[in-house]
Amino acid sequence: MIIEDIPIIKVGMADMNAVQAPGVLKTSGLGSCIGLSLYDPINKIGGLAHIMLPSSDIARDQSYHVAKFADTAIPALIEQMVKLGAMKSCLQAKMAGGAQMFALASSEMMRIGPRNIERCKEMLSEYTIPLIAEDTGGNYGRTVELDCSNGVFLIRSVQNGVKQI
């Protein structure tokens, strides 16, 4: 039996990518950031965005990476996936991250993780994409992988080991 090498595509901070199966999308260093995956199970097309902040309203200039903000990353990821052949009506979302990394986060500005979670959920609702699973919150970092052959979202953390949703 020949075992194929499945390509692993790394997604950096404020970055996103989409791929059709076979392929695995992976991002590391999710603290307050969100690893948001979109998946079309019919066409086996997946997308992953490493979202850092909730809103592009705070951008100082217009030359920012669209994947940096929830309000610009999600529409851009949908568009990228549709170009690969995904159907908007089939998309499902899973997400991880959004940790509260600062213990003394008394101000709203320091609640980056919870605000990222809220904004991603608002954007998914706006696009009528169901959030079928999440591993968010807490105070620890995560690494995530999306297997585009089956939609499995793997989450690794030092504190909680490995789980799949």
Catalytic residue among 33, 90, 120, 148: 33
How many Cα atoms occupy the beta-carbon half-sphere of 143 within 13 Å? Answer: 12
Sheet holding 45-51, edge to edge: 16-20, 45-51, 34-40, 92-97, 131-136
Residue 120 is among the residues annotated as catalytic for this protein = no
Question: What is the number of H-type helices and E-type strands within the chain?
Answer: 2, 10
Structure token digits, residue 147: 């297997």
Enclosing H/E stretch for 24: strand 24-30
Cis check: omega of the bond before 22, within 30 degrees of 0: yes
* Active site (catalytic) residues: 33
